[in-house]
Amino acid sequence: MKKLLVLTCALGIAQPALAGNINLSNLTGGQASFRSVSEDLGSALSYKGVVPAESIGITGFDIGLEVTQTNLAKSEALWNSLTGSNFSNLYVPKLHITKGLPLNIDIGAFYSAIPSTNIKLMGGELRWAFIEGSTAMPAVAVRGALTKLSGVNQLSLDTKSLDVSISKGFAMLTPYAGVGQVWTNSSSELFTKESFTQSKLFAGANLNFGLTNLAIEFDKTGAAKSTSFKLGFRF
């Protein structure tokens, strides 16, 4: 447990590798390369809730600092021309807030600005636990979410996603898993617009120690794999 806490804090403080602004004018390989970059960015920047399916209730809040690491499965070789840096993973730090509403509905949002780059990102979700869950039954929820990239000249990218998840609490530990789809629109004045759909699989676990909360989530959207850590408060 201590190792997980240290790793979460370290990832949030030490942003690695991605230095310099994204410049699509330097992208080599034409439309095929733009498609590869768009698919990896769609995977990396799509919404990742890092929460169980169960609702936190009308008085509940989930507030945390989060970082998501995504392996750039299709475009790793292209990022040197885009940014002047060689790397294989994109790290996205986030401030993430979720609020409980009536009828087992939760609303959430995040904001991100990646240090030393021009990447900014925001997103939101609406999640409904249509099966509330109990000591004997798991909770099941459906979620709609969207994200929007900003700050990158010559690139407009947004994602929309829909998923279903299930979770079951065991004392402090609540494991969860889900499946869904992500729709990405990526456009640039330099390339033809790309619109595509990627399947999404995810699983994670939430550990709650009273007010302090730790969550980890593994996600595979398209070909790219992501790991998210969140440390904060859930009550």
Chain centre distance of CA 61? 19
**Structural domains of the chain, with CATH:** 2-234 (2.40.160.20)
- CA distances to 11, 135, 154, 161 from 230, in Å: 10, 25, 31, 20
Per-residue pLDDT of the chain (235 residues; tens, 9 = 90+): 444 444 444 444 444 455 568 889 889 899 999 999 999 999 999 999 999 999 999 999 999 999 999 999 899 989 888 887 777 899 999 999 999 999 999 999 999 998 777 889 999 999 999 999 888 899 999 999 999 999 998 899 999 999 999 999 999 999 999 999 999 999 999 999 999 999 999 999 999 998 899 999 999 999 999 999 999 999 8
DSSP annotation of 21: -
* Residues with Cβ within 8 Å of residue 159, at least 6 apart in sequence: 42, 45, 46, 47, 123, 146, 147, 182, 183, 184, 185
SS3 state of residue 220: strand
DSSP assignment of 133-176, as one string? Answer: --SSS-EEEEEEEEEEEES-TT-EEEEEEEEEEEE--BTTEEEE
For 198, the token pair is 């990627």
Residue 165 and residue 179: Cα distance in Å, rounded?
7
Q: What is the pTM of this model?
A: 0.90
